[in-house]
Chain A
């Protein structure tokens, strides 16, 4: 029983990271209709900012997260305005090509700057946790989950309660009608991409505390973000939260299968994704569009 509870806790905690990675990806996909293949690279930029601030200036990694968010917002805004906006209405294949190219460029610039050494942020409380009898809840993972939930809440607030958020929602609903009522499309697009990048940056800061990062470490996260968004459903932040936590749980239970079961943890998660696509194409909580 204790093992089962521990596994559920570990799964939910791991899910926190997937939530953080997924929300930004889902936002960009839902509004701009761009499957951003450079999302993992943006995540890793955030990771390196946190690592740099932690190792050079000894700033607590959780305090560096706002820096990640602001830096990535600016970078994402400019990237969209200068480059990605050019293919905003192009066929899907062009968006794949461009964002994949951006991914390669970012990864190789990071390689030039930081080399391929493994970097990890290990604060003094890393590895410690709350112990409830046989059950352990590590602080770093717990705080990360809290940050991911807070990040999602903030994003939902911006999208549903602020002027620019409503504009973004309007574009997602009908881009031409939005333009007719006077919404500045280019600005709103760039803000959307910037918000997505900011979420990626925060996720990167969390990831740097949990695993060792290299410039290429972001690539699996692009794929995981894709699965999380499909699991939860496109178009709602809360759906991505559910998708991320579900993905974390499924992965943990997949890994706990004895013997070589964990080799198939990913396969099980992808199988679940296919199952969701077949039975509930809009995702667990998504809205049909």
Chain B
């Protein structure tokens, strides 16, 4: 019989021997690694965290965001991971469903940091959730690179750890005005119908101010409640002033409602442009040929021509998307910008040569790289003001890039014919 004391000693002995063996093995691995020095070794896995609205009202856009993240994830892991000081770190992305609720998004962001030990954060979908999550990233001093929150109010808080790869809200419809100035007959008056949420108002106020500086008159500026589905009275108000340009700053649902009401009430403007909505396939599916001639500002289109410093070219990216998600058509800009956020983070980690959050944060602040999505560079607030927005137009049921001219693939169709002459 052995006593309990002897048993404990015996087990400890085994444990000691096991550790010793492991240590020898580890040394051997390190020795081999240094002696051969043929390629990078594999290091710890980098965990990225992202709360997304996988159920609820933002499911559509959140799913597109996830597609963008996953597209990059496949690519980086096929290469073996992100290389930091000659060590390859594989990457995983931990997702949680925030049910399209900004407050829940922040709770899950904290959970990702404390429980899941996420090294870095990717943004949620939408300005509201990005704003609440940015506060969490800041408190924990973990960098968050986001691609789907364009409201400048997020970046005016003095945050140091939030970086947005997309063009900010105030640029969304500026391109449409720039385009309008090149057209004949030159449009002179603008009607603006805007939703009353932060993001939409930023877009609307900026473009109205911009149009005024370019000599256009603002015939009517109406705000409506975010999410309104019946906009007939607003369209009626626009019709009463007979504007050359009808602008909407809102969301897909409202853009569809305005276009339907414009046809019903024979609101015949020379140019219709909506901030968000026409770029999605749903807009064309819902409206059929009535979607033709509509312009929108877009973060990115599959036709843009940028020369990437790394990752895929635009054509390769579109092909990779279609291979992974067959039957969905071209990737839209939500997908592209989400992939771009991952690329910015990847390059910053490589530049930092470290997984230290502070060092990666500094590398993000100094980042300046062009990828398939365009130039990614952040101003002092952390938003990418350097990449231009492009202007798209729906022509015969297909999206075409019409401005800026150097990356356009079609000429704008202008003026828009009257509803009964289509």
A127 to B286, CA, bound (A): 13
Contact in complex: B224, A263 (CB < 8 Å): yes
A214 to B56, CA, bound (A): 10
Min CB–CB distance A266 → chain B (angstroms): 6
B212 is an interface residue with CB less than 8 A from chain A: no
Give which listed residue, A116, A127, A212, contacts B419 with CB less than 8 A.
A127
Contact in complex: A136, B287 (CB < 8 Å): no
B305 is an interface residue with CB less than 8 A from chain A: no
A36 to B150, CA, bound (A): 38
Given the known inter-chain contacts A255-B234, A266-B225, please indicate yes or no for A136 contacting B256, CB distance below 8 A: no
B91 is an interface residue with CB less than 8 A from chain A: no
A3 is an interface residue with CB less than 8 A from chain B: yes
Give which listed residue, B63, B234, B264, B287, contacts A116 with CB less than 8 A.
B63
A281 is an interface residue with CB less than 8 A from chain B: no
B222-250 to A contact mask, C-beta < 8 Å, 1/0: 11110111111110110010000000000
A120 to B233, CA, bound (A): 21
Contact in complex: A211, B253 (CB < 8 Å): yes
Contact in complex: B233, A127 (CB < 8 Å): no
Min CB–CB distance B6 → chain A (angstroms): 60
B63 cross-chain contacts in A, Cβ below 8 A? 116
Contact in complex: B290, A212 (CB < 8 Å): no
The number of chain A residues touching the other chain, given as a range, is 35 or more
| Interface-central residue, B230, B234, B287, by most chain A CB under 10 Å | B230
B214 is an interface residue with CB less than 8 A from chain A: no
Number of interface residues of B (CB under 8 A): 42
A220 to B260, CA, bound (A): 20
B59 is an interface residue with CB less than 8 A from chain A: yes
A240-266 to B contact mask, C-beta < 8 Å, 1/0: 000000000001110110111011011
Contact in complex: B223, A263 (CB < 8 Å): yes
Q: Which residue of B lies closest to A122 (CB)?
A: B288
Q: Which residue of A lies closest to B225 (CB)?
A: A263
Binds B, one of A6-14, A153-161, A173-181: A6-14
Given the known inter-chain contacts A116-B60, A117-B282, A263-B225, please indicate yes or no for A256 contacting B236, CB distance below 8 A: yes
Give which listed residue, A14, A118, A253, A258, contacts B232 with CB less than 8 A.
A14
Min CB–CB distance B236 → chain A (angstroms): 6
Min CB–CB distance B267 → chain A (angstroms): 10
A84 to B266, CA, bound (A): 47
A115 cross-chain contacts in B, Cβ below 8 A? 59-60
B369 is an interface residue with CB less than 8 A from chain A: no
Give which listed residue, B56, B220, B232, B266, contacts A252 with CB less than 8 A.
B232
B178-212 to A contact mask, C-beta < 8 Å, 1/0: 00000000000000000010000000000000000
Contact in complex: B221, A122 (CB < 8 Å): no
B45 is an interface residue with CB less than 8 A from chain A: no
Contact in complex: A10, B286 (CB < 8 Å): no
B263 is an interface residue with CB less than 8 A from chain A: yes
B316 is an interface residue with CB less than 8 A from chain A: no
Given the known inter-chain contacts A127-B263, A211-B229, A220-B227, please indicate yes or no for A111 contacting B59, CB distance below 8 A: yes
A6 cross-chain contacts in B, Cβ below 8 A? 236
A57 to B227, CA, bound (A): 31
A193-219 to B contact mask, C-beta < 8 Å, 1/0: 000000000000000001110101100
Contact in complex: B223, A260 (CB < 8 Å): yes
Give which listed residue, B220, B225, B230, B263, contacts A14 with CB less than 8 A.
B230
A120 to B280, CA, bound (A): 14
Give which listed residue, A7, A126, A260, A265, contacts B260 with CB less than 8 A.
A126
Q: Which residue of B lies closest to A264 (CB)?
A: B225
A115 to B59, CA, bound (A): 8
Given the known inter-chain contacts A127-B263, A256-B233, A262-B233, please indicate yes or no for A118 contacting B256, CB distance below 8 A: yes
Min CB–CB distance A217 → chain B (angstroms): 7
Min CB–CB distance A117 → chain B (angstroms): 5
B264 cross-chain contacts in A, Cβ below 8 A? 127-129, 136, 138, 140-141
A129 cross-chain contacts in B, Cβ below 8 A? 264
Min CB–CB distance A20 → chain B (angstroms): 14
Min CB–CB distance A94 → chain B (angstroms): 24
B234 cross-chain contacts in A, Cβ below 8 A? 255, 262
A280 cross-chain contacts in B, Cβ below 8 A? none
A211-235 to B contact mask, C-beta < 8 Å, 1/0: 1101011001000000000000000
A140 to B230, CA, bound (A): 14
Contact in complex: A260, B222 (CB < 8 Å): yes
A52 cross-chain contacts in B, Cβ below 8 A? none
B55 is an interface residue with CB less than 8 A from chain A: yes
A119 is an interface residue with CB less than 8 A from chain B: yes
A266 to B233, CA, bound (A): 13
| Interface-central residue, B229, B231, B290, by most chain A CB under 10 Å | B229
Given the known inter-chain contacts A10-B232, A262-B233, please indicate yes or no for A127 contacting B260, CB distance below 8 A: yes
Min CB–CB distance A212 → chain B (angstroms): 5
Contact in complex: B55, A7 (CB < 8 Å): no
B287 cross-chain contacts in A, Cβ below 8 A? 120, 122
Give which listed residue, A3, A10, A126, A212, contacts B253 with CB less than 8 A.
A212
B141 is an interface residue with CB less than 8 A from chain A: no
Q: Which residue of A lies closest to B233 (CB)?
A: A255
Min CB–CB distance A119 → chain B (angstroms): 7
Contact in complex: A122, B233 (CB < 8 Å): no
Min CB–CB distance A259 → chain B (angstroms): 7
Min CB–CB distance B251 → chain A (angstroms): 10
B252 is an interface residue with CB less than 8 A from chain A: yes
Q: Interface of A with B (CB < 8 Å)? A: 3, 6-7, 10-11, 13-14, 17, 108, 111, 115-120, 122, 126-129, 131, 136, 138, 140-141, 210-212, 214, 216-217, 220, 251-253, 255-256, 258-260, 262-263, 265-266
Q: Interface of B with A (CB < 8 Å)? A: 55-57, 59-60, 63, 196, 220-225, 227-234, 236-237, 240, 252-253, 256-257, 260, 263-266, 280, 282-283, 285-288, 290, 419
* Interchain residue pairs A-B with the least CB separation, the first 4: A255-B233, A127-B263, A120-B286, A116-B59
What are some 16 contacts across the A-B interface (CB < 8 A)? A7-B233, A118-B256, A118-B285, A119-B286, A120-B285, A122-B287, A127-B419, A128-B264, A129-B264, A141-B264, A211-B257, A212-B286, A214-B60, A217-B253, A260-B196, A265-B233
Q: Told that A118-B252, A122-B290, A259-B222 touch, could you supply 17 new A-B pairs with CB distance under 8 A?
A: A7-B236, A118-B60, A118-B256, A118-B280, A118-B282, A136-B264, A211-B257, A212-B252, A220-B227, A252-B233, A253-B233, A256-B237, A259-B221, A260-B196, A262-B222, A262-B234, A263-B223
